[in-house]
Amino acid sequence: MTNADVARAFNEIANLLEFKGEDAFRIGAYRRVARTVAELQDDLKTVTDRGELATLPGIGDASADRIQELLTTGRLALRAELAAEVPEGLLRLLDVPTLGPKKIALLWRERGIRSMEDLKAAIDNGTLAGLKGFGAKSIEHVQRGVEFLEHSAGLTRLGDAWRVSTQIREAVLTLPGVQHVARSGALRRGCETVRGLDMLCVAEDPAPVIRQFVKLPGIKQVLAVGNSWGSVMVDVYSGHSMQVALRVVPEKTFGAAWQYFTGNGAHNSRLRELAARRGWTLSEHGLISGKRVIAARTEEEIYSELNVPWIPPEMREDNGELSLDEVPADLVSVERMRGDMHMHTVASDGRNTIEEMAVAARERGYQYVCITEHSQSSAIAGGLKPERLLQHVAEIRAVQKQLEGIIIFAGTEVDILSDASLDYPDELLAQLDFVVASIHFGLGYDMESNTRRTLAAMHNPFVNCIGHPTGRLINERDSIPLDINAVCREAVRTGTALEINANYYRLDLRDQHARVARDHGASLIINTDAHAVEQLDQMHFGVLTARRAWLRDHDVLNTRTAKEVGHFVALKRMKRPQPAAAG
């Protein structure tokens, strides 16, 4: 029972209580417990064993007893009681964007909707019409949300899949005879979601490795077992599992297998065509002419023999990569990132202090960071009132005086409001070093409105970056419709960077949009939007996305020095961009 499992159980109790129409204070108490547990750095069982559970914020004696019950028995009697009174199928409806507990309770009481299937039927037969709060536009949004969830079914986010692959890799490496374990497939290509994991390992005697692989701890179900491969199901998190396939190959053909099981189908098909023109065959066993193996040990020698450059995994998508004479040597990488310009601390909804975030960034080799707390309208995220922001800026300056080896910029993540204005006045933004502007509320399906809000923010001389421009949450909320070409053109004209938010729930801009931005000549910036020190490591996922877009160092603002970032900011303030002329 992980911290996430416990937090999920308490959130479900809060939702079931809200469906029933229970007291808001009681509901809030369960949500506070869920939030405390979710943000806890230590393992909850360890905290409990130390007798420190009741010392955690928001956890009283009753909550501590329930946590103990859950850790001991794997279930909560209260949850079972509530599930007997309220249909559990309503919990699934919370995944539909625009549907909160109050609206779901209304659907249950007024229309008898108890599940996702009931909701889909009600949309199809028109029985939602006339229900308070469900006008034509609202019903359309709900329908889009349901369709989005169906499209996302069975997909695992990149970061979740990466975590599972790391656990599997470490476990397989302990098995006798295993020399090497590697990721392949969509995960190695850095795709934002994957349907399953493909892993390769090197061992001379594959059968014993597979027999032990399918018996590893955490295996939920064995799907298939062969002499040199096995397929299993593992839990990613509560309620979601994924398939993991392991293939065992000898060292002498590892490169061929790694290439074969990494590239997408179209990329591999083109490579086979190049081989066929020479009278050769290409498969997971190697590049072969008759009975002679031309290349198999490494990927590099296979690409070389086919007279094409070795293609980085993220680029193996049949987007013209095999027409390149050479792959750019300065394709962006984690090692080239010099800073992270979007992160939060305990001043808003982060879990670490200014100093802790800065020190953690310095340990990762960064030269600079920017602290960007939420603005006042994001009350749920602890957004700062103007006077509190000024105080926070002073605190950042004070930490900077005491801390060597890293530059700490003072910034904000300011909300772009529904009327396209910003959540802080210009005279306040002018006192900051860097400003990220983001849309957090009013995420609608009106492309014209979304684009207008974004362009208006870019016209402000103090806005340096548009944060997570399409507002998506992978597998949870679809992107808002946005005229990407118009946004990219205006980003170039105004000198505003567009963010690739590296949080694996976002990866926004996505790879296709980042490539459009690059083609327009816009500056991009890869930020983690970290709310805790460990989230700084998600820079890796943002870089994978950037590499899928073929971004090079000069395309990415935070591969530059702190002085160059400062010049980027100063140049826009000096030019003070105005809205483009109509027509």
- In total, how many domains does the chain have? 3
Q: Is residue 329 part of a domain?
A: no
300 and 167 in a single domain? The answer is yes
Whole-number pLDDT of residue 581 = 63
Say which CATH number the domain at 509 has.
3.20.20.140
Query: Where does a domain end: 128, 152, 176?
Result: 152
Q: What percent of the chain has pLDDT over 90?
A: 75
Whole-number pLDDT of residue 133 = 87
Q: Is residue 328 part of a domain?
A: no
142 and 17 in a single domain? The answer is yes
Q: Is 168 exposed, middle or buried (0-12, 13-18, 19+ CB in 10 A)?
A: buried
* Mean pLDDT on 534-548: 97
pLDDT digits (tens, 9 = 90+) for 331-378: 999 999 999 999 999 999 999 999 999 999 999 999 999 999 999 999
pTM of the model: 0.85
Q: Is residue 299 part of a domain?
A: yes
Query: Where does a domain end: 272, 304, 323?
Result: 323
Whole-number pLDDT of residue 61 = 85
pLDDT digits (tens, 9 = 90+) for 238-262: 778 899 999 999 999 999 999 999 9
141 and 164 in a single domain? The answer is no
Say which CATH number the domain at 65 has.
1.10.150.110
Q: Is residue 581 part of a domain?
A: no
Q: Is residue 72 part of a domain?
A: yes
Label each residue of 403-470 as H, E or C.
CCCCEEEEEEEEEECCCCCECCCHHHHCCCCEEEEECCCCCCCCHHHHHHHHHHHHHCCCCCEECCCC
* pLDDT higher than threshold 80 for residue 484: yes
36 and 98 in a single domain? The answer is yes
Return d(Cα 24, Cα 31) in angstroms, integer: 10
396 and 519 in a single domain? The answer is yes
Asked whether 213 and 195 are in contact (CB, 8 A), the reply is: no
DSSP state of 182: E
pLDDT digits (tens, 9 = 90+) for 283-298: 999 999 999 999 999 9
Say which CATH number the domain at 165 has.
3.30.460.10
* pLDDT higher than threshold 50 for residue 12: yes
Task: Flag the least confident range among 54-63, 310-319, 346-355, 425-434.
Answer: 54-63
Q: Is residue 372 part of a domain?
A: yes
Query: Where does a domain end: 112, 137, 152?
Result: 152
119 and 139 in a single domain? The answer is yes
176 and 138 in a single domain? The answer is no
Label each residue of 258-324 as H, E or C.
HHHCCCCHHHHHHHHHHHHHCCCEEECCEEEECCEEEECCCHHHHHHHCCCCCCCHHHCCCCCHHHC
Return d(Cα 532, Cα 370) in angstroms, integer: 14
Asked whether 307 and 513 are in contact (CB, 8 A), the reply is: no
Whole-number pLDDT of residue 583 = 47
309 and 428 in a single domain? The answer is no
Alpha-carbon torsion 136, 138, 141, 145, what sign? negative
Q: Is residue 507 part of a domain?
A: yes
137 and 169 in a single domain? The answer is no
Return d(Cα 418, Cα 437) in angstroms, integer: 13
310 and 345 in a single domain? The answer is no
378 and 303 in a single domain? The answer is no
Q: Is residue 224 part of a domain?
A: yes
Domain extent, residue 418, equals: 334-575
277 and 390 in a single domain? The answer is no
Q: Among 572, 529, 524, which residue's Cα sits nearest to residue 551? A: 524
- Over its C-alpha atoms, the chain yields an Rg (Å, rounded) of 26
